[in-house]
Amino acid sequence: VIKLETRNLTKKFSATEGVADISLQVYEHELLTLLGPSGCGKTTILRAIGGFNKIDSGKILLDGAEVQGLPPEKRPTGMVFQSYNLWPHMTIYENMAFGLKLRKTPKKEMDAQIAEMLALVKMSGSEKKYPTQLSGGQQQRVAIARALVLRPAVLLLDEPFSALDAKIRGQMREELKRIQREAGLTVIFVTHDQEEAMAISDRIAVMNQGAIEQLDSPTEIYDNPHSRFVAGFIGEMNFLDEGGAVLAVRPEDIALRSASGAGMARIESVMPLGHYTQIILVRADGARLKVFIPKEQALGYIPGQTADYSFTRFKQFGAAQASA
Ligand code: ADP
Ligand code: MG
């Protein structure tokens, strides 16, 4: 079931800035991530869907109905921003109650709904606190609860965890997946962090310069990137110029063998990284290759010596695409 759809959505700030012809479909109960470098247009799309940006052209459909003409409060979307989400002079209860009051929700019902949503994000009992009494992670939980208490059809999250430190961010990812599952949410999540996108997404739309380059499952994006940009943006990748084309090879897709005689490449460094070992090879033509092998296979490889290698899989891109 398609929950949300954009058709040729275009929003330009100048000739080169903004997004053009964005067409995407988000399925019910799906977590779809817009992933791309800073400035590629992720926030522009999210704000357009939420109604905070007037679009130049195109359509936005929610449950099949066009919403592009409606103001934010008339759209069945809820948005959580990167930071400054809660009003600092209001208690958590008042923050949560704000939108419900505008809807003239009876007090008793409001109390119950606020308690229910705070329980969902594991913040029960924090009603009387002020935002500054909570940690950054707790504040973002409340911000998500505040969006959810209005029962949005689609939850829009713009880099909600990027201000948090790495450990809390990891916990929040798992929390978000749990909340999504328990509440049956449809979520559009924005991040520039490819690891975060890989970890939480049902599908990822990889964006570059105002356009979507590939929309696929995380494994498909990783194993079968359609462009050099996608190949380089997700995970680690070696790029090798081979007579007019470019080979893209993952470090884990290079098999090593001890060389009999002079090997194909010199071993520059061997670095244990926990369960695998990183080996840097330098070929005679100067090209460097990063290789990941299981640590128990790394024992025979010593810096300064040579080794042979082969690619167990790779992708090839044409020269024109490679230079883009
Ligand atoms: P992202 O969220 O992926 O970092 P944005 O959607 O915020 O990117 O911005 C995309 C492009 O549009 C950038 O070049 C940015 O400078 C430009 N832009 C965004 N908002 C505005 C605005 N209100 N006025 C002018 N240019 C803007
Ligand atoms: Mg942004």
17 pocket-lining for ligand 1 (C-beta < 6 Å)? yes
Q: For residues 81 and 138, state if they share a domain.
A: yes
Give the model's pLDDT for residue 90: 96
34 Cα nearest atom in ligand 1? 3
- Asked if residue 43 lies in contact with residue 207, where contact means CB atoms within 8 angstroms, the answer is no
Q: Please report how the helices 166-183 and 136-148 are oriented relative to each other, as an axis angle in degrees rounded to 10.
A: 20
Shared domain check, 192 and 263 = no
Q: Provide the domain count of the chain.
A: 2
Both 225 and 282 in one domain: the answer is no
In the predicted model, residues of the chain with pLDDT beneath 50 are 322-324
What's the complex ipTM? Answer: 0.98
Is the CB of 225 inside a 6 Å radius of any atom of ligand 1? no
Gap between the Cα atoms of 120 and 108, Å rounded? 19
Same domain, 32 and 84: yes
Cα distance between residue 269 and residue 185, in whole Å: 47
Contacts of 162 (CB under 8 A, 6+ apart): 82, 169, 191, 192, 193
Same domain for 205 and 242, yes or no, is no
Which CATH number belongs to the domain containing residue 285 in this structure? 2.40.50.140
Give the residue from 204, 229, 254 where a domain finishes: 229
Q: Which domain holds residue 305?
A: 237-323
Q: Is 295 left (phi over 0), alpha (psi -120 to 50) or beta?
A: alpha
pLDDT at 321: 53
Please indicate whether residue 35, judged by its CB atom, sits closer than 6 Å to ligand 1: no
* CATH code assigned at 107: 3.40.50.300
Q: Where does a domain end: 182, 198, 229?
A: 229
Same structural domain, 10 and 100: yes
Q: Whose CA is nearest to atom 21 of ligand 1?
A: 13
Domain boundary at 229, 261, 292, which? 229
CA-to-CA distance for 43 and 36, rounded, in angstroms?
11
* 41 CB near ligand 1 (under 6 Å): yes
Q: Which two tokens stand for residue 197?
A: 């996108």
**For the whole model, what pTM was predicted?**
0.91
Same domain, 131 and 219: yes
User: Ligand 1 center to residue 13 CA distance, Å?
Assistant: 8
Question: Which of the ligands is closest to the CA of residue 16?
Answer: 1
**Cβ atoms within 10 Å of 49's Cβ, excluding its own:** 26
pLDDT at residue number 259: 84
Q: Is 37 in the pocket of ligand 1 (CB under 6 A)?
A: no
Provide DSSP, 85-126: -S-TTS-HHHHHHHHHHHTT--HHHHHHHHHHHHHHTT-TT-
Answer yes or no: do 260 and 176 share one domain. Answer: no
What is the spatial distance between Cα 30 and Cα 205, in angstroms, rounded to a whole number? Answer: 13
> Does residue 13 line the site of ligand 1, with CB under 6 A?
yes
Separation of CA 279 from chain center: 29
> Rounded CA gap, 121 and 139, in Å?
11
Q: For residues 218 and 195, what is the distance between their CA atoms, to the nearest angstrom? A: 10
Laid out side by side, the sheet with 77-80 consists of 77-80, 154-158, 187-191, 31-35, 203-208, 211-216
Answer yes or no: do 282 and 169 share one domain: no
Q: Whose CA is nearest to atom 20 of ligand 1?
A: 44
* Per-residue confidence (pLDDT) for residue 323, from 0 to 100: 46
Give the Å distance between the CA of 317 and the centre of ligand 2: 29
Return the best residue to mutate from 16, 44, 212, 213 for the ligand 1 pocket (most ligand atoms within 8 A of CB). Answer: 44
The answer to whether residues 298 and 168 belong to one domain is no
Q: Do residue 255 and residue 296 come from a single domain?
A: yes
64 lines ligand 1 (CB under 6 A): no
Same domain, 211 and 255: no
Pocket test for ligand 1, best of 9, 12, 17, 156 (most atoms within 8 A of CB): 17
Centre of ligand 2 from the C-alpha of residue 111, in Å: 34
Which string of b and e fits 120-143 if b means at least 16 CB within 10 Å?
A: bbebeebbeebbeebeebbbbbbb
